[in-house]
Chain A
Amino acid sequence: MIEANPQSAIRDPQTGGVVLELRDVVKTFPGVRALDKARFELRRGEVHALVGENGAGKSTLMNIVAGVFQPDEGAMLLDGRAVRFANPHQAARHGIGVVFQELSLVPNLTVAENIFANRQPVSTADLIDWRRLYADTEQLLQLFELDVRPTALLKNLSVAQQQVVEILKALSLRPAVVILDEPTSSLTAIETRLLFENIRRLKQGGTAFIYISHHLQEIFQIADRVTVMRDGQYVDTCDVSAVTEDVLVRKMVGRELQNVYGRRESPVGEVCFRAENAGRGEDFAGVSFALREGEILGLAGLVGAGRTELGRAIFGVEPLDRGALYLRGERVRVRSPREAIRHRIGYQTEDRKLQGLFLRMTIRDNCAAPSLPRFAGQAGLIDEAALSAFADASRGKFNIVCTGIRQQAATLSGGNQQKVLLAMWVGIEPHVLIVDEPTRGVDVGARSEIYRLLRELAATGVGIIMISSDLQEILGLSDRILVMRNGRLVAEFVNEQATEEKIIAAATGVVL
């Protein structure tokens, strides 16, 4: 079973229960002062949230704790002793467990081998003791009520399940300090609740958690204290019970934020898109709905309910095999993304890094990707000037913070990458735009901008289908809300009538 590692979490009376302390840490990269005398203090058995906008220095700070980076100045104290990790391996040996946002798992290996990567129990002659490996894994899986076999191949798991495996992998080391970087970004409400239960139980045993999240509500649910960072500097640390969300946001941003979701300012128009009895394989069936011009239609449900599959089918990635789609009253067949784009249907994927962006290419080339034909003049040659002008305009309109349109997409912050992704699809001048998790892993500031952009887009008459696991977002932005469960539409609410409880009840089939 998992407990705090007794060796690395010995309580030193001198430190007053402080496991980890960072003092005036400075880290500069060429041209950037990423951390400027940052401070952080973690006590035994607490969940300490670290918040700040992208670029505030949270990740750099955590990378120092995890041994990825080494500080230029300042001290790191573990159990009161100064330490310096030359690499992540050393950090792990000192009892630092890390669950990074990017998965570190191997798709072609089993769940068990992933969790115990390079640490498989061995019998004599260094042969892997498979029985013990699977038994240990089973135990961990039960902890999170994860319904997969230890022998299942990782690639056959959903993203949410993979994320749980990643968390289990870190916990299996029995660390004294666990860094959780956006652990819930692909978890459903139920999985998140399980994660929180486990965190609470583990902290009873003395394990300390550093919790990084853009979802402030989560911080109020799980954290004991919260430290705010801004521009690489320490801003404040407070007890979670003593602050409100507004106060936190103000500290993070350094200014007041308006109502992030905005408000509808133009009326909804005619029906522009309709799905009738749409179905595909085992993914979803009998889906019928209509979308109006200028409407934002929220699509809620658990991960795996078939929302993304529906979106991808409308966009022709894995086309429908039953039912029909109508665009402005006319039946359309969409058998590939190419045809969808021709019909001015856009789809912003939930996975911006793996499926959305061309990370090694420039912002300019990314923006143009789905609308290349627009920039091809006579003889099919690209009009470079028009393309640059378009990219510049997108950069301005979407407020993409960058050094120029020739900056590589990989070097942008998550929020700005997401804006580039949205810009790509606005570039095709869509009639219907499907956005799948439009603000996943995006900070408060960029998030409110994306909401504003979606509002503006709707105001120009675009029908928007918004798939989201963030109920606040669904409730804040949608005109109407559809809920999917097990591949079927199970409920529809007009925004005014919807509540978080009603949506969860419909999505899970259980009244909470």
Chain B
Amino acid sequence: MNEPERKNEGRAQPDGMCWAWRLTQFREFMIVVVILVAAAAMSCASKDFRTPGNVLAMLLGLSVESIVAIGMTILLVSGGFDLSVGSTVAFTGAVTAMCLVAGAPVPVAVAAGLALGVLIGLINGVIIAKIGINPFITTLGMMSVVRGALLVVTGGKNISGLPESFTVIGQWHIPLFVYQGQMIGIQYPILIAAVLVVIGDLLLRKSRFFRQNYYLGGNEKAAILSGIAVDRLKIFNYALTGFLAALAGVVMTARFGSASVTSGTGLELRVISAVIIGGASLQGGEGTVLGSFLGSLLMAIIVGSLTLLGVNVYWTQLVIGATLLIAVLIDTLGKRRQRLV
């Protein structure tokens, strides 16, 4: 019996599909294709694009965003998000810098910055999970509070003159090879970001603890009934995001050798865009760290290409916004087709 039901339900992906077809079903695969196409086109259009120097510069520019995007992905998967990351990046970077200027040893200064990030995240998490104010309002407020605190603490001035024992984190590199007489190497920020992205992707995909986020984002009530400690998980997610934002802040400060009070402005929206291009949804329950990284990479390639091609910088914003809209459009239309059946 039940044969009639089967007829109605021949829509979702059958299990026994060949792997090549399965692969195309992954959002990551689609972005990789787009990235390869964009990169190939750029390589033809501009011979500077392919140079190791340019690629590494792009990755370096990407490193801060990729680190923040890990936390943001976990939040979006669990049905939350965080607008305060941009301010957190700037504030934690500045606090680390101030500690250093005041003479604190590097590990202490870095620990202070990271602890501050965790604290900001914890406050976000507790307000959202325990008091039940929605993430948008909470983190919008926190974004302003943290930026304001930064201005108060620094008096609006940038902090420079950081010891080399600190800036080494952002500026040194592992030499790889010589290209046209220049030593090319991977900078530490790229390495840190790469390691974190790989670990983050693995954990969110494979670990029982992080996997709970898909359930939380999929259906919070059902998650509670399934025995998931929802409040604790939310608080952890925001604290982790705060921590990662702080780490990004430290790396960025080290890289530039100074902390700027305007750094990280608009970062939260760039990161959320990248995460959504990478397959996450504001409804929660979807997304991967790898996808988010690829989303960031795609945006970096587009921005880098426009610059190399000499396109007026004013266009950049427009193109980024259009990319986001197109990605979401394709996704939504694809899903609607499935759902209509």
Contacts and interface: CB of A to CB of B under 8 A. Distances in A.
B14 interface: yes
Contact of A365 (B16, B214, B224, B340): B214
B285 interface: yes
Interface string B193-207: 000000000000011
Contacts of A407: 9, 11-13
B341 interface: yes
B221 A33 contact: no
A336 B227 CA distance: 7
Interface in B1-34: 1-16
Contact of A415 (B5, B208, B228, B229): B5
Interface in A291-338: 315, 317, 336-338
B4 A369 contact: no
Given A370-B227, A445-B1, A413 B9 contact: yes
A380 B208 contact: yes
Contacts of B218: 358-361
Interface string A370-384: 101101100111101
A337 to B, nearest CB: 5
Interface string A26-40: 000111111000000
Interface in B195-254: 206-209, 211-212, 214-215, 218-219, 221-229
A416 interface: yes
Given A336-B229, A401-B6, A369 B222 contact: yes
A401 B2 contact: yes
A121 interface: no
Contact of A358 (B227, B285, B340): B285
A109 interface: no
Interface string A340-367: 1110000101000011111111100100
A231 B286 CA distance: 34
Contact of B221 (A347, A354, A445): A354
A300 B3 CA distance: 34
B9 A338 contact: no
Contacts of A34: 7-8
Contacts of A415: 5
Q: Identify which of A315, A362, A408 gathers the most chain B CB atoms within 10 Å of its CB.
A: A408
Contacts of B206: 381-382, 384
A406 B12 contact: yes
A214 to B, nearest CB: 14
Interface string A435-469: 00000000001100000000000000000000000
Contacts of B13: 403-404, 406-407
A355 B11 contact: no
A360 B225 CA distance: 17
B132 to A, nearest CB: 15
Contact of A369 (B215, B221, B286, B340): B215
Interface residues of B, number: 41
Nearest to A415: B5
A317 B225 contact: yes
Contacts of A189: none
A336 B230 CA distance: 11
B3 to A, nearest CB: 8
A355 B222 contact: yes
Contacts of B222: 349, 355-358, 369
A508 interface: no
A362 to B, nearest CB: 8
Contact of B341 (A30, A337, A369, A372): A30
A336 B225 CA distance: 9
A231 B7 contact: yes
B208 A358 contact: no
Nearest to A356: B222
Contacts of B209: 380
A28 to B, nearest CB: 10
A361 B2 contact: no
A360 B285 contact: yes
Nearest to B16: A404
A396 to B, nearest CB: 13
Contact of A372 (B14, B211, B225): B211
A406 B3 CA distance: 19
A390 to B, nearest CB: 14
Contact of A355 (B2, B225, B340): B225
Nearest to A29: B341
Nearest to A369: B226
A501 B259 CA distance: 79
Contacts of A381: 206-208
Given A355-B221, A404-B13, A382 B340 contact: no
A404 B283 CA distance: 25
A405 interface: yes
A507 interface: no
A405 B341 contact: no
Contacts of A336: 227, 229
Contacts of A373: 208
A370 B6 contact: no
B5 A53 contact: yes
A80 interface: no
Contacts of B225: 315, 317, 337, 347, 349, 355-356, 370
A445 B12 contact: no
Nearest to B13: A406
Contacts of B16: 404
B2 A399 contact: yes
B1 A253 contact: yes
Nearest to B5: A55
A148 interface: no
Interface in A174-232: 230-232
B11 to A, nearest CB: 6
B283 to A, nearest CB: 8
A476 B211 CA distance: 40
B207 A376 contact: yes
Interface of B: 1-16, 206-209, 211-212, 214-215, 218-219, 221-229, 283, 285-286, 339-341
Given A354-B219, A446-B2, 5 more contacts: A337-B226, A401-B5, A403-B15, A404-B16, A411-B12
13 contacts: A34-B8, A53-B5, A55-B9, A255-B1, A315-B225, A360-B286, A365-B215, A370-B227, A379-B207, A402-B12, A405-B15, A407-B12, A445-B1
Interface of A: 29-34, 53-56, 230-232, 253, 255, 315, 317, 336-338, 340-342, 347, 349, 354-362, 365, 369-370, 372-373, 375-376, 379-382, 384, 399, 401-408, 410-413, 415-416, 424, 445-446
What 5 pairs across the A-B complex have the smallest Cβ distances? A404-B15, A376-B208, A358-B218, A407-B12, A55-B5
